[in-house]
Amino acid sequence: MSVLFEKTRIGTMKLKNRIVMGPMSTTGESDGAYSMEAIHYFTERAKGGCGLIITGANLVTTEYEPRTSTELSNYHHAERLNMLVERCHHYGAKVCVQLSPGLGRLQFIDPLTSPYSAGESSVFWFPSLTCKSIPAWDIGNLVWKVGYAASLARMAGADAIELLASGGYLLDQFQTPVWNTRTDEYGGGLRNRMRFTLECIESIRESVGPGFPILVKFAPCHGFEGGRSLEEGLEIARLLEEAEINAIHVDVGCHETWYRSVSTVYQKDGHQLETIQAVKDTVNIPVFGQGKLFDPAVAEDAVASGKLDYVVLAHQMLADPYWAVKVKEGRQDEIAPCIGCNECLLSGFSGKHLRCAVNPLCYTEREYALPGPDPAGRGTDGSGQAVSGSTEQLGSNRAVKSVLVIGGGPGGMSAAIAAAKRGYRVDLWEKSDRLGGNLWAAGLPTFKKDVFRLIAYMQHQIDSLNISVFLSKEARAGEVIAGNYDKVILAAGSKPVIPRIPGTEYASPAADYLLGHKKPGTRIVVIGGGMVGCETAAYMKEMAEEVTIVEMLGDILAIADHCLNNDQALRSMLKERGIRIVAGVRVTDIIPDCVICEKGGETIALSCDTVILAAGYRASNELEQALDGKVKDLCVIGDAEAPRKIMNAIHEGYHAIRIME
């Protein structure tokens, strides 16, 4: 039997396997209680087979900080938490409630309001603002609040408590000299800096009693100058074990190195394992670990080799709540993969509810479910898998609806899959010789194999459903109209923009090199410092001696719409690979061995043997006008509407079918 599915015990808590849903922020009601959407969201992950669910951080009070997530500070909060716990228990999952005394310098309030912290450090999101040092009396108040919140969680039926002491949040700020400048009993040496954390543990234990599992999430190292070293991190692990907690949840990094903590597409699988094992070798209590462990083979080996005791999956649980069930049943090719885009994280920082690029049902499990039973008697089960039924006609002899999808990129595949799951007759036309569209160019760099996983997953879905796929077939308006389809989805994607620069005949679009159609030379200039340009430059450096990015704006990635941790990771990779960046310049000419730029009236000549264009994309929507008003129902989605993201394409394809009547 797989070690992932061994039954274990932590304190009084019995677990059916070693698979843990990691803590992530969830939106609550205006009073801080869990929303019904959140309850359905957690229940779906319990149904999906994980042994333990760790909730996102619950603030123990809002006296010092405005509410940013769910809260557990008074009696009425326990009711909704109890609903969450009880429903998860129905599926055999246990629930660990994460508690936080605060965010401290990481609060995202406004550039005028100074938050409380361990000392007078700068505010992360507004560096010109200085934090207020929280008085010792208020620390005592927070310690009491942590204990009271723990009692509420246990009263609500929780199986364990996790104290959030990582990620550069308030407790971590107290633990770290770069942020803790205090001279009282909570500052100075390590034990003084740990005092707040240890007092919180003691307060929790007094509230929940002996045997009840207490976990602490902490970061043994931060990965930036002035942050925690691993040597001190291991000493902290020993202090936590001395405090008689039941398990340690290892994190890595903080917001200064956010990509080390919250993985991106650019990190390798298991990138935190070395640090996790260092902690595992230091303590004698169970160790929880994370960091892109969603490949079942990687997760299995991490446990079997003794690097950790419990595998924590966070964003992967958003992409596919049924990861555990599918792994146990040997259905790995049916797992919807996390692609490390961090749209989930970005949505929270953009004032939106939790979202996942590859799973339109994330946090909308009830509201966005495909209608069923549908006219063909075919719907979906709770895992999103198609349920068999007649695909020919309804008992009343109504004909099955027909759908034509033009374009086999992520949007087109998403629409075709959803339509097949509703039992519709689906034709998918793709003008190239394979499905995937621009995902191939996006996924070919060696550091973006997560995107390849998405192609493979969607291809498997297409193959397993009743979808007629026509490759190397270009759509023509007359044939589309003659097909008399009930709905036509135009998902023809986008094409590279060729900028109006003299000499572009000596250059080629980035896709030509990403797809391997052309081989680069040894000295490359990439025109365009957006995400495509930066990723292309990083990939080309694996083959070339010199790579330079030329960007018209004042900095690369200036208008990239992605999360900060992805931005950090990509910039770090460019720096590590020695990519030269020339920003704030205008390209005036391209000649066979040189790119000519102008900046402030001065001419800059960049010698090269390869010029790559990464100036953006434009929609391939030529058929829209020809079909508008001539087919029963036309819907333009994804890049064919406007070049955007994978998430836009997949969600729009899904919803175009979901709302069909």
Q: CA distances (Å), 615 to each of 497, 516, 562, 618, 643, in order?
A: 6, 19, 18, 10, 12
CA distance 47 to 172: 33
CATH 3.40.50.720 residue spans of the chain: 402-496+618-658
pLDDT digits (tens, 9 = 90+) for 79-95: 999 999 999 999 999 99
Amino acid identity of residue 349, one-letter, is: F
Mean pLDDT for 572-588 is: 97
- SS3 assignment, position 60: coil
Q: What strand order describes the sheet that includes 602-607?
A: 586-591, 594-599, 602-607
pLDDT of 372 reads: 66
CA distance 367 to 360: 11
- Orientation angle between helical segments 190-208 and 136-155, nearest 10 degrees: 30
pLDDT of 1 reads: 63
Per-residue tokens: 375: 């006219």
| CB-CB contact of 425 with 380 (8 Å) | no
13 has a pLDDT exceeding 70:
yes
Mean pLDDT for 238-262 is: 97
CA distance 185 to 192: 6
Computed over every residue of the chain, the mean pLDDT equals 94
> H or E stretch including 250?
strand 247-250
pLDDT of 67 reads: 75
pLDDT of 398 reads: 64
CATH 3.50.50.60 residue spans of the chain: 504-615
177 has a pLDDT exceeding 80:
yes
Strand partners, 599: 602
Per-residue tokens: 611: 């010029």
CA distance 573 to 274: 20
Dihedral angle of Cα 42, 48, 52, 57, to the nearest 10 degrees: -30
- Choose among 627, 626, 633: nearest CA to 656: 633
- Expressed in angstroms, the distance from the first to the final Cα of the chain is 46
- Choose among 62, 66, 54: nearest CA to 164: 54
Amino acid identity of residue 54, one-letter, is: I
Report the DSSP pairing between strands 487-490 and 634-636.
parallel
Mean pLDDT for 327-337 is: 97
Residue 326 phi, psi (nearest 5): -70, -35
- Orientation angle between helical segments 410-421 and 449-464, nearest 10 degrees: 30
pLDDT of 488 reads: 98
Least confident stretch, 339-353, 501-515, 558-572, 633-647 = 339-353
Mean pLDDT for 568-577 is: 97
CA distance 442 to 389: 37
- Choose among 617, 606, 615: nearest CA to 524: 606
Mean pLDDT for 460-484 is: 96
228 has a pLDDT exceeding 50:
yes
pLDDT digits (tens, 9 = 90+) for 593-611: 999 999 999 999 999 999 9
- SS3 assignment, position 258: helix
CATH 3.20.20.70 residue spans of the chain: 3-336
User: Other C-beta atoms within 10 Å of 13: how many?
Assistant: 20
C-alpha angle 636/493/517, rounded to 5°? 170
- SS3 assignment, position 261: helix
CATH topology for 402-496+618-658 is Rossmann fold (3.40.50)
DSSP state, 130? B
How many Å separate Cα 493 from the centre of its chain? 23
User: Other C-beta atoms within 10 Å of 235: how many?
Assistant: 16
Least confident stretch, 58-72, 153-167, 452-466 = 58-72
The pLDDT confidence band at residue 395, using thresholds 50, 70 and 90, is: very low
475 has a pLDDT exceeding 50:
yes
Least confident stretch, 105-109, 112-116, 396-400, 586-590 = 396-400
Q: What is the pTM of this model?
A: 0.94
pLDDT digits (tens, 9 = 90+) for 398-445: 689 999 999 999 999 999 999 999 999 999 999 999 999 999 999 999
CA distance 425 to 412: 15
pLDDT of 106 reads: 93
Catalytic residue among 34, 169, 259, 539: 169
- SS3 assignment, position 369: coil
Domain spanning 504-615, CATH architecture: 3-Layer(bba) Sandwich (3.50)
Strand partners, 132: 116
Give yes or no: 169 in active site: yes
CA distance 544 to 612: 13
pLDDT of 393 reads: 42
Query: What does 9-24 look like in DSSP terms, one character per residue?
Result: EETTEEESSSEEEPP-
Look at 372 and 116; give whichever has higher pLDDT: 116
Peptide bond into 373 cis (omega under 30): yes
Per-residue tokens: 556: 């690369």
Looking at domain 3-336, does it have CATH number 3.30.70.260?
no
pLDDT digits (tens, 9 = 90+) for 333-390: 999 999 999 999 998 888 788 899 999 999 999 999 999 644 333 344 444 444 433 3
- Choose among 353, 376, 356, 407: nearest CA to 660: 376
pLDDT of 389 reads: 34
391 has a pLDDT exceeding 80:
no
